Amino acid sequence: MYNQTEIIKDTSELGADGELVINMGPQHPATHGVLHLVVTLNGETIKKIEPHLGFIHRSIEKMCESLTYRQFIYVTSRMDYLSSHINNLGCALLIEKGMQIEVPDRAKYIRVILSELTRIASHELWLGAMAMDLGAFTPFFYAFREREMITDIMEDTCGARLTMNYIVPGGLMYDLHPDFQKKVKAFITQFKSKVTEYEDLVTNNIIFQSRTKGVGILSAEDAISYGCTGPVARASGVSCDIRKIYPYEVYDKVEFDEVIETAGDSFARYIVRVKEMNQSIRIIEQLIDNIPEGDFVAKTKNVLKLPKGEFYSRVETARGEFGVYIVSEGGTTPHRIKFRSPGFSNLSVLNHIAAGGMIGDLMASMGTLDLVIPDIDR
Amino acid sequence: MFSLEGITTSVQDWLFMKFNPTMALAMECVIVILLSISLFALLGLVLVLMERKVAAQIQIRLGPNRVGPGGMFQTVADTLKLIMKEGLVPDKADKFLFNLAPFVVMMVGMLLLAPIAFAKNFQIWDINIGVLYISAVSSLSVIGILMAGWASNNKYSLLGAMRSGAQIVSYELSAGFAVLTIVVLTGSLQLSEIVKAQENGWWIFKGHIPALIAFVLYIIAVTAETNRAPFDLAEAESELTAGFHTEYSGMRFALFFLAEYINIFIVCAIGATLFFGGWMPLHIGNWEAFNHIMDYIPSSVWFMGKTFFLIFLIMWFRWTFPRLRVDQLLNLEWKYLLPISLFNLLLVAVIAILGWHF
Amino acid sequence: MTNEEIKEYISSLAPAATYDETGEWLNILVEPTALKPLMAALRTGKMQMNYLFCVTCVDFKTQLTMVYHLSATTHRQSIVIKANVNRETPVIETVCDIWRTAEFLEREVFEMFGVQFTNHPDLRKLILEDDFKGFPLRKDFEDPINMIKL
């Protein structure tokens, strides 16, 4: 890594015009993960932010070139660990598309329910962490109360709480736990009764609103030009929900709204995610009682081989569009894999929206961009 | 009933009987010093634990419950840990100021314990300019904070100390005006006079509208003065990693930590004295029986009860609200609180002259 | 727009382009020198491809291939533009000024494959250490300490 003294010499001197250069991170309570930001300040105003990445680079793309098609799926759980089911689903969809595997309906329904539960869990953690960045310590515990229920459901069914290896090309690894439906319904009831707590404590709090309204404004053209996806772009008015535009699994059969706000500031990004949680609950409610009986996995060979060619599949994770691009030469391992991670493009917008504001605004903007650094560094 | 005033008078009589006057006075000073240091330490212990338990209740968890019954000795364990930690002094730090800063902040806390009336006739120093003394001495804590930030030789500490200094100096104005409201109603700066004037009812009830406005302003201003959330950006740990006391560790950090809680106690004690009657029990008009029962509860219990209620209120704020940004904080003071407090002072002057208070 | 219409349109902009319709989307292979004008025309012209969602590079043993995935928020159709660059001296024009997202994406391709992007505002390593030697994602990258060959 960097030579320690070189960092201190390099970035701790006063720049021109008496500007102060400050390092935030890599170990910092607010950058969620190991992100090193070099912030050039003039008094309290930020002039430039430069992210230094690579602290958790694990050369996943190179590594996957030596893993088989059944093995590489679970490496994506470790990338964006808060949306592990959705990432796995993206990889599985790619292999099914490439090998023309037909997934049974039961597996499709369950995969969608798991994806939506993961989305809610990810947004809950985001809510708690962002409120904590801004100084409100209590919403963190309230958000984790709901997230605990989801991780308990996951632990029963998938065997793990964070990096859940459950989705395989062709369906699921095992069938559902018998208590799954009961627990999910209990969760839905609890969530609906608690969502007013978040409204009272955070959304309608005047201090929170004045910290996030008008802060970190991103226009729609800039959002598209910077390649932002997910709630970041939807808060600026760009319609980009993959579940609506290129529906996969059973998303074309369920009714839900795509949440779009036009303000483009941190408060709009916050509102988009909170409303998305409500939409996810709506999707789960429509599906949980109607899971069809049948097989949970399609019959596939043990060793999978994608035919020669290129394939791309995309899913909507909690952060945005996650794309998997595979170039295959017909063997058992991919020739080249590229993971198009949503955080990478969302991070590039940070300098644009936070320059000219204050450090407090940087906290609000970074919190609402919802960055998970292992997703960016891969 | 049990009364602290009885103990002090008997001790004083005994001392003056046994020794010559100067010697007795010197011994009294020593006793008072020991008592205030032990009060300091005891309050620190209790308040830190109270904060953690209140936080836990609000955050649906339990809080410390392993060390001692119900977690009572948690703070003792924490203090022992802090004493045994290595107190690092950074390389290019200004050693004299670095070591002096925690003591300045602590001394201000102890000096402010003097005029507070803990129970009937139980004050260390009933100075005739009590309120002025309190306002003046509490301003000295800014020096300690700025010393700490400067002497640490650390960008973050300096930023934090600057913010904190600006914040405290601004909010002292509003706090001062709020306190002045009660002084106008009473007509005296002396704390014992202010408490005596509340014999037939607490100022927050007797002074109706201006006293209520003054109380709200006072609570907001003292939350900002003691660097508590939502005004705690001087120690905003997610922005500047602990602000002005980043470089302090071990016993020096313990002194800062303790001094913060003592400051909270003092400002709440003053708030209780000015607005809620100090050690005066709650008397409601002509309800003789009720008043008689209220008189049975010792005055020290009344005083501590009111103070701890206000402390609970301030702790409640911390766990509910997010933090304000530095420009929003100064905006709040200079554009909103100060004009309101000036207007309130005018209002209370008019009411006092026309005799429209109870 | 159907594939035929797109092919006609792009042939009018870059006559030497070749097409490959075996994949999911239309793949267009152009010369590296013709890339920038084609991209600019695609962005501002009638197709309005304002969304560049993936920039990557693939190492076929004989050459490196730059792959750009484009899409539009209006008509949601995607196309893939490819350009073969020389393995010894890989040089290509940047598209940063057309889509701002390319700044970070091209930095990553630069450090992993060694492709030089001319006119890039800030071309340096993004994820790897500053003093890292070699281009890791190339097929001939050898690292005796860290790579374990089975």
pLDDT value for B239: 55
First to last CA, chain C: 48
**Does C68 map to a domain?**
yes
Mark whether A17 and A75 lie in a shared domain.
no
Query: What average pLDDT does range B251-278 have in this prediction?
Result: 88
Contacts of A43 (CB under 8 A, 6+ apart): none
Q: Supply C126's token pair.
A: 């993004």
Whether A213 and A111 share a structural domain: yes
Report the chain A residue with the minimal C-alpha distance to residue B332: A207
Give the CATH number of the domain where residue A307 resides: 1.10.645.10
φ, ψ (nearest 5 deg) of residue A184: -65, -40
- Residue A62's pLDDT is 87
Q: How confident is the model at residue B44 (pLDDT cuts 50, 70, 90)?
A: confident
In a domain, B237, yes or no: yes
Q: How far is C103 from chain A (nearest CA, A)?
A: 8
Contact across the interface for B324 and A201, Cβ inside 8 Å? no
Q: Is residue B69 part of a domain?
A: no
Taking residue A47's Cβ as centre, other Cβ atoms within 10 Å add up to 16
pLDDT at B235: 66
Chain B residues with CB-CB distance to A208 below 8 A: 322
Residue numbers in chain C where pLDDT is lower than 70: 150
| Residue A375 within any structural domain of the chain | no
Q: Is residue A321 located within the same domain as residue A357?
A: yes
Identify the domain containing residue C70 by its residue range. Answer: 3-88
Mean pLDDT of A255-263: 88
- Determine how many CB atoms are found less than 10 A away from the CB of residue C74: 11
Q: What is the CATH number of the domain that holds C64?
A: 3.30.460.80
Q: Is residue B82 part of a domain?
A: no
Domain count, chain B: 1
Question: Which of A63, A95, A239, A338 to mutate: most C Cβ within 10 Å?
Answer: A338
- Domain membership flag for residue B3: no
Neighbours of chain C (3+ CB pairs under 8 A): A
ipTM of the prediction greater than 0.85, yes or no: yes
Range among B12-26, B304-318, C126-140 with highest mean pLDDT value = B304-318
**pLDDT, mean over chain A:** 86
Asked if A295 and A253 sit in the same domain, the reply is: yes
pLDDT digits (tens, 9 = 90+) for B99-134: 888 889 888 888 888 888 888 778 888 888 888 998
State the chains in contact with A (3 or more Cβ–Cβ pairs under 8 Å): B, C
Segment 78-107 of chain A within 8 Å of chain B by CB: none
The shortest C-alpha distance from C23 to chain A (Å) reads 6
DSSP summary character for residue A101: P
CB within 8 Å: B319 and A141: no
- Looking at the structure, tell me whether residues A44 and A66 fall in a common domain: no
Which residues, in sequence order, are bridge partners of residue A167? A172
Query: Which tens digit of pLDDT belongs to each residue from B166-192?
Result: 888 889 988 999 999 888 888 888 888
Q: Distances in Å between the alpha carbon of A145 and those of A208, A282, A372, B284, B319?
A: 21, 20, 21, 45, 17
CA distance A194 to chain B (A): 13
pLDDT of residue B97: 86
Task: Tell me if chain B has a CB within 8 Å of the CB of A8.
Answer: no
> To the nearest whole angstrom, how far is the Cα of A229 from the nearest Cα of chain B?
27
Q: Which tens digit of pLDDT belongs to each residue from A40-83? A: 888 778 888 888 888 888 888 888 888 888 888 888 888 888 88
C106 touches chain A (CB under 8 A): no
CB contact under 8 A, C101 and A327: no
Among candidates C22, C105, C129 on the partner chain, residue whose Cβ is nearest the Cβ of A1: C129
Instruction: Show the domain range for A37.
Output: 4-52
* Residue B239 to residue A360, Cβ atoms within 8 A: yes
Identity (one letter) of the amino acid at B278? G
Structure token digits, residue B328: 């929003």
Q: Which of B61, B232, B239 sits opposite A359 (nearest CB)?
A: B239
Helix (H, G, I), strand (E, B) or coil at C75: coil
Range A212-234 average pLDDT:
89
Instruction: Using pLDDT thresholds of 50, 70 and 90, give the confidence band for residue B242.
Output: low
The pLDDT of A29-38, averaged and rounded, is: 75
| Number of folded domains that form chain A | 2
Measure the CA–CA gap between A284 and A218, rounded to whole angstroms.
Answer: 31
Digit-coded pLDDT (tens) for B325-337: 878 888 888 999 9
Checking if the pLDDT of A359 tops 60, the result is yes
Inter-chain CB proximity A135 and B229 less than 8 Å: yes
Residue C104 and residue A348: Cβ atoms within 8 Å?
yes
Q: Are strands C116-118 and C91-93 parallel, antiparallel or unpaired?
A: parallel
* Measured CA angle at C102 (ends C99, C108), to 5 deg: 175
Contact between A227 and C25 using a beta-carbon 8 Å cutoff: no
DSSP annotation string for A182-250: HHHHHHHHHHHHHHHHHIIIIIT-HHHHHHHTTSS---HHHHHHTT--THHHHTTT----HHHHS--TT
* Mean pLDDT to the nearest integer, A144-157: 90
Examine the domain organization and report whether A174 and A26 are in the same domain.
no
Tokens found for residue B171: 């909010």
Interface present between C and B (3 or more CB pairs within 8 Å): no
How many domains, in total, are found in chain C? 1
What tokens appear for A127 in the block?
A: 């809510």
